[in-house]
Amino acid sequence: MKLPAPPTEKAFPSPLHHPRVATVVGRWLATAVTICFFTGLYSHFLQDTPSWLPIPSRPASLYRVTQGLHVLSGTVAVPLLLAKLWTVYPKLFAKLPWPPTRQALGTLLERASILVLVSAMALELFIGFLNTLQWYPWPFPFRQTHYALAWIIVGALLVHLAVKLPLIRANWRRTAEKVPDSLPPAITGLTRRGLFRTVAGAATLVGITSVGQSAPAFGPVAVLAPRKPNIGPQGLPVNRTAEAAGVTGIDENWRFMIMGPQQLSYTLDELRALPQSRSELPIACVEGWSQGARWEGVRIRDLLELCGASMQSRVRVVSMEKGGFYATSELPPDFAADPLTLLALRLNGGELALDHGFPARIIAPNRPGVLQTKWVHRLEVIS
């Protein structure tokens, strides 16, 4: 039996497989990718801060905004990527030039760069979205792969732009549209403007139904979001529960320690007796969800003063959590000295729930949730 022949480039009759359409949809996709890349880079640098990069602790809600944008732009990129692939789909069946010439080599390299771009971007969006559900069905580490693929995508995208630049320039502004002359297609066929509206509508729809996990105003319609910001103990979601972290609570021998110029040790009651401060700060997670909350506890800067450390100190935070990548974190000097940064003992008017880090946790402005270390039992002044 003979298999049917694969389609050729000419087998797709729609006039919407056109460079002008590819340019417009490509611009939208590039905008989403750019926002996603830079917000992702920011998040990466907050978690793995290079020594040459000073990151300020204000504005306090900056990370909430950037990470919300990161997940939003990534989610919205899904319909945009599909629309882009649809537009250029006939190119997949373009004949490879034969016999091989210099020009053919160029075409081959270009198609290889597109293969890299499409495969990396599709996988990046897929693993990124599944990460917001905390679902990891693949056999490679999420964070490292997601970060490396981002650079590969941006690189392949720049190569793609270099190759297509003349075509992009020629189609940057509106070009004449071929209108079919027979009646039914004229009425039933989608115009370019119609296609742009539909794609923009799809992207908006996906955005509105998922942004509610970071923007509480859209919470009720966030039917495509894996989080509801007000669900969880004390009205706040949890990423890592006490059970998952192997923390069961404290006994009467529990002491909170500060290792600085002086070593101080406090019982929980003694901590409660220290001057308490209040901060209104969000928990903003790398998975994109965020929720504001009212925290009460002791300022880290007050604790630094009590142990005689300088206000430019870097502080290591040690949790009772068993193992795990985030059992310790570091507060850079700007964050440790910020008057909003607390060793929090209370949340939204009640004692901290065990899943939120009882008896004490760090809450600091402009930081990813994974660095807001829970179940803290020791602070070490490093410098």
Partner 1 sequence: MKTRIGLAVAGVGLGLWGLWLLLSTLDPPALIRLPIWLGGAVVADDFFLVPLTIGVGWIVARWSARPDRHRAVGAVRTTMLYVGITTLIALPLLLRQGKGVNPTVLPRDYLRDWLLLEATIIAGGVAGYLVQRFTFRRSRASSGDIGGR
Helix, coil or strand: residue 230:
coil
Give the whole-angstrom CA distance, residue 279 versus residue 267.
Answer: 23
Q: What is the rounded end-to-end Cα distance, in angstroms, of the chain?
A: 76
The reply to whether 216 sits near partner 1 by the rule CB under 8 A is: no
| Residue range at the interface with partner 1 (CB under 8 A); choices 155-163, 271-279, 323-331, 339-347 | 155-163
The reply to whether 147 sits near partner 1 by the rule CB under 8 A is: yes
Give the angle subtended at the CA of 297 by the CAs of 383 and 365, to the nearest 5°: 60
Give the angle subtended at the CA of 172 by the CAs of 171 and 173, to the nearest 5°: 90
For partner 1, give the closer residue by CB, 1 or 187: 187
Q: Of residues 1, 3, 96, 187, which one binds partner 1 by CB under 8 A?
A: 187
Give the whole-angstrom CA distance, residue 348 versus residue 363.
Answer: 13
Give the whole-angstrom CA distance, residue 77 versus residue 122.
Answer: 10
- Residues 352-381 binding partner 1 (CB under 8 A) are 355
| Residue range at the interface with partner 1 (CB under 8 A); choices 21-29, 75-83, 97-105, 258-266 | 75-83
CA atoms within 13 A on the CB side of 380: 8
For partner 1, give the closer residue by CB, 150 or 347: 150
Residue 330 C-beta: closest distance to partner 1, Å: 21
The reply to whether 184 sits near partner 1 by the rule CB under 8 A is: yes
| Residue range at the interface with partner 1 (CB under 8 A); choices 99-107, 160-168, 254-262, 303-311 | 160-168
For partner 1, give the closer residue by CB, 47 or 145: 145
The reply to whether 1 sits near partner 1 by the rule CB under 8 A is: no
- Residues 84-123 binding partner 1 (CB under 8 A) are 85-86, 89, 92, 113, 115-116, 118-120, 122-123
For partner 1, give the closer residue by CB, 104 or 205: 205
Encode 174-197 in three state secondary structure.
CCCCCCCCCHHHHHHCCCHHHHHH
